Structure 1
């Protein structure tokens, strides 16, 4: 039987899962590929660390040792950071190897360059594991993009932040308590900044933007906010309105170009993310023909991520399965670019004796509820107005209610609706 030789870069949680999955699913791989998959080499960082590497596999700290073997067909990369991962994969492609990566930071920065280099060298790049863990979102979107245009994508792309928000809501613990628990369980790193402040979700969103639209928005213009300022009382007040907090990344074309956001929002029970709890990820896509599609599944962990990498291994070895997305939408043709929309927002103002209660100068549809620390106010406003208030009043917390009804301010067929005009303190 033909043998396909692979090397694995990194032998942490994901790398070990990849090797384990190749061994445990060898029969399925042989049935699909008509060949035996053999892991020949593993790249490690620390030569002194004790590892349980299966017998017969060469391990090394020098990537050139792996290339010098001369017969590696596929390199699977599961290390962290842009470098040396990017340099390793460039070398692998130039040596005629297919590559598969789980590295979202590196691929967000260099994915297009790697894919162009792979085309020049007639090999393939798999990157399913870089976004949404075990959810096959890259393959699904690639299939979808053969005809459909995606008007909007939004996703819960980080399992750690979703787990924290879920535990805070269900068990009444503080952000700090749940974060410590997540670290003990291995859901959060010792330095959790990338997860809880939105960096991890941001890089995944940029990868999806490239796939959907063939480009990324200007990184400095993408609104990025984490969950560390969400507290238990805010959650309780939101639930009294019927809403739940979610940390959501979204991308959509507009007349001003691609608009990206990574931020906490609140969702009503009719929103597809309302019931997505724990470490699950979810992606909701609005497309031109198929309408709204929802994908949900485990977003992280050894076997879900390893599953995505092994599925990519099959994909790169069977080029007939490849589907290319990266379809550019003509941004000047996007509908609604000149229409001002009023969105529903949930605003939290500190209950502080030195800060009189804010009031809305117009509108009768405003609701409010009070807690010990915060007063919660439900209101309507457009993006520009809201972010002006957010800049001027940093003590106030503002959250978009995603999935709630929007009103077109300039549509005379609609009754006049309240808009946030002024806050007085």
Structure 2
């Protein structure tokens, strides 16, 4: 029976999940693969001892103990961040070792360098856990949908943001109040910026776009807006209008150019993504052959993410056993067929919009506002005016037909300059019906 030996860098939450999965599923993995997967070495500068079941595993503080051990076949990096994670992965690759990582931030910025080095050294890079936690989204996109032109990607890819928006919607709570609760429950980090400002979601979208379209998409290519400015008032209006607000990653393939955006989006209550609640993730693909596919599950956590890392380890082990390393290209497309992306400028985006205008309730105000919309080619689909006390500013909510982002920005600028408008206009994009 073949033994595959594994070195693990980082024994944090996900590292423990991987170790537990390999330990508890050892016999099942042997039955399914004919391979004994053995965790031999763990590198972690903050861990003094390992649990009793890992008494045969060497614990060290020096990653060179893994790189310089010729018996180790696969190096798993689970420390996150840019450095030293990047250097560790490149060192392992240059030593001829296969690597597995869950590091979406690193791959969305330096993925091209890492995948190029792996191809040159004929080793594999597993990164299933970088998107969707325990959801097998990378494998589905690389292999299950290989006979498809991907028309679009839409998804809820951050559990923290989705938990916060769910609580705001269901309980009428304000953002800061829900965030504090999420931190106390462990759903949000002490510094939640990456989660609530959409950056974590953008990391994942860049990776998915790279695989889906065969393009070298970088984090900087993604337009990113977060949820910290979402107010209960807009969530309430959304519900009245038959929508729920979600933080979505969206990319539509226009052939010569592709959209790349992360932002709060009004999703019709009839759409599948509107039903995804709490800390769960859901990612939807549309292929020209298969149609719509929705993958749903836990997007984070020790065991779900550990499961995804273990799946990469097993895949690589099977390829080693069958002498078929890189049978499936790391990014689905062969390296020489990857191309540079042309990203749709945000000003050229066309979609429906929600606007909330705050204005004094005076004769002629509505006419002035709608006239500005008309001047910029924005067609109103529906309008709601909030009941209010006399002499108080009023909320006027508009839902539009599809309009161009550049025209929308110019219209909002003019509306906000009106002497009767007392607060900046709120704009939220609507999900495009395909």
Determine helix, strand or coil for the equivalent of 2:135: coil
Measured after TM superposition, the shift of residue 90 of structure 1 is 1.1
Task: Provide the C-alpha distance between the structure 1 equivalents of 2:62 and 2:188, rounded to a whole number of angstroms.
Answer: 29
| 1:346 lines up with 2:354 in the alignment | yes
Higher relative helix content:
2
Task: Provide the C-alpha distance between the structure 1 equivalents of 2:159 and 2:170, rounded to a whole number of angstroms.
Answer: 16
Identify which range, 207-216 or 302-311, moves more after superposition: 207-216
After superposition, residues 130-141 of structure 1 pair within 5 angstroms as: 130-141=130-141
Task: Provide the C-alpha distance between the structure 2 equivalents of 1:399 and 1:7, rounded to a whole number of angstroms.
Answer: 46
Task: Provide the C-alpha distance between the structure 2 equivalents of 1:126 and 1:374, rounded to a whole number of angstroms.
Answer: 50
**Unaligned 5+ residue runs, structure 1?**
406-425
| 1:326 lines up with 2:347 in the alignment | no
2:429 corresponds to which of 375, 381, 400: 400
After superposition, residues 24-423 of structure 1 pair within 5 angstroms as: 24-46=24-46, 52=51, 54-217=54-217, 219-220=219-220, 222-254=222-254, 257-319=257-319, 322-324=327-329, 325-326=332-333, 343-350=351-358, 359-361=369-371, 362=374, 365-370=381-386, 374-380=395-401, 381-389=403-411, 393=416, 395-404=424-433
Structure 2 CA distance for partners of 1:236 and 1:119, relative to 1, 3 Å: same
Task: Provide the C-alpha distance between the structure 1 equivalents of 2:413 and 2:43, rounded to a whole number of angstroms.
Answer: 47
Determine helix, strand or coil for the equivalent of 2:262: strand
Determine helix, strand or coil for the equivalent of 2:281: strand
Determine helix, strand or coil for the equivalent of 2:292: strand
Q: Which runs of at least 4 in structure 1 moved beyond 6 Å after TM superposition?
A: 327-332
Residues matched between the structures, number: 401
Contact 1:182 1:188 in 2 (8 A): yes
Map Cα deviations across residues 155-183 of structure 1 (whole Å, 9 max, x no partner). 11111101100011111211111111111
Map Cα deviations across residues 120-164 of structure 1 (whole Å, 9 max, x no partner). 222211001001111111110112443211111111111110110
Determine helix, strand or coil for the equivalent of 1:258: coil
What residue is the counterpart of 1:20 in the other structure?
20
Identify which range, 80-89 or 367-376, moves more after superposition: 367-376
| CA RMSD, Structure 1 to Structure 2 (Å) | 3.0
Contact 2:214 2:339 in 1 (8 A): no
Contact 1:216 1:258 in 2 (8 A): no
Taking structure 2 as the reference length, the TM-score comes to: 0.84
Task: Provide the C-alpha distance between the structure 2 equivalents of 1:220 and 1:7, rounded to a whole number of angstroms.
Answer: 32
Task: Provide the C-alpha distance between the structure 1 equivalents of 2:425 and 2:291, rounded to a whole number of angstroms.
Answer: 36
Task: Provide the C-alpha distance between the structure 1 equivalents of 2:296 and 2:127, rounded to a whole number of angstroms.
Answer: 18
Determine helix, strand or coil for the equivalent of 2:283: strand
Task: Provide the C-alpha distance between the structure 1 equivalents of 2:84 and 2:40, rounded to a whole number of angstroms.
Answer: 21
Measured after TM superposition, the shift of residue 46 of structure 1 is 2.3
Measured after TM superposition, the shift of residue 35 of structure 1 is 2.1
Determine helix, strand or coil for the equivalent of 1:107: helix
Map Cα deviations across residues 195-220 of structure 1 (whole Å, 9 max, x no partner). 00011011111111111122245654
Identify which range, 378-387 or 284-293, moves more after superposition: 378-387
Structure 2 CA distance for partners of 1:331 and 1:15, relative to 1, 3 Å: closer
Map Cα deviations across residues 361-390 of structure 1 (whole Å, 9 max, x no partner). 255743224277843221222232123345
